[in-house]
Amino acid sequence: MRELALHILDLAQNSIEAGATTIDLSVVEDQPADQLEIVLKDNGRGMDAETAARAIDPFYTTRTTRRQGLGLPLFQAMCERCEGTLELTGTGGQECPPYPGGTGTVVRGRMRLSHLDRPPLGDMGAVVQALACEAGRVRLRYHHRVNKELFELDTAELQGRLGEVPVTDPTVLHWLGGFVNDGLREVHSTA
């Protein structure tokens, strides 16, 4: 994939298909340490250790609509190509710490921020727009830190401020994409 945003969207869609009702997305650009970290935590059905280990195999998927699952293997290959790692943690039905009483999965990708082969972050506004279309059933909490500066968005809080106008309203979605991309410029994102 040419943008990290597309990997993030794929991971989030996997979470939604696994029954997640809350997705926590964190992107951290640590410029002094030359590290980029992308973490997605969800409260979906989770996976046991064996399934988590097999999930990075491109010829393994739990979906019945296709025979391959390329999203995680491609993300792992990109992390490793950029001197990083991918960690996949499934709770296997055990309680997931960020979600008391729930299970879940955590995907953590790390890479060197300045690596020549690291794709650009891309259009995170469009990713948030796409995920906001699921706002009626999925809460997205997005945190993007650049050194000590922070951009945050919570679709549930946004819906509370909008009142009766749904987050999925086309005017709101249009505004949301610009709001996210403007917010990332304000925190001086270089990814």
Q: Span 86-114, mean pLDDT? A: 74
pLDDT digits (tens, 9 = 90+) for 10-26: 999 989 988 999 999 99
Report residue 99: phi and psi, to 5°.
-130, 85
Instruction: Look up residue 93 and give its amino acid.
Output: G
pLDDT at 96: 45
Q: Is 169 left (phi over 0), alpha (psi -120 to 50) or beta?
A: beta
- In this prediction the pTM is 0.86
Q: What class does CATH assign to 4-185?
A: alpha beta
**Sign of the dihedral through C-alpha 14, 18, 23, 29:** negative
* Three-state secondary-structure class, residue 188: coil
Q: How confident is the model at residue 168 (pLDDT cuts 50, 70, 90)?
A: very high
pLDDT bucket at 161, cuts 50 / 70 / 90: very high
| Pair of tokens at residue 106 | 């955590």
Report the pLDDT value the prediction gives residue 176, as an integer from 0 to 100.
Answer: 97
**What pLDDT digit, counting tens, does each position of 134-149 carry?**
988 899 999 999 999 9
Rounded to the nearest 10 degrees, the angle between the axes of helix 4-17 and helix 71-81 is 150
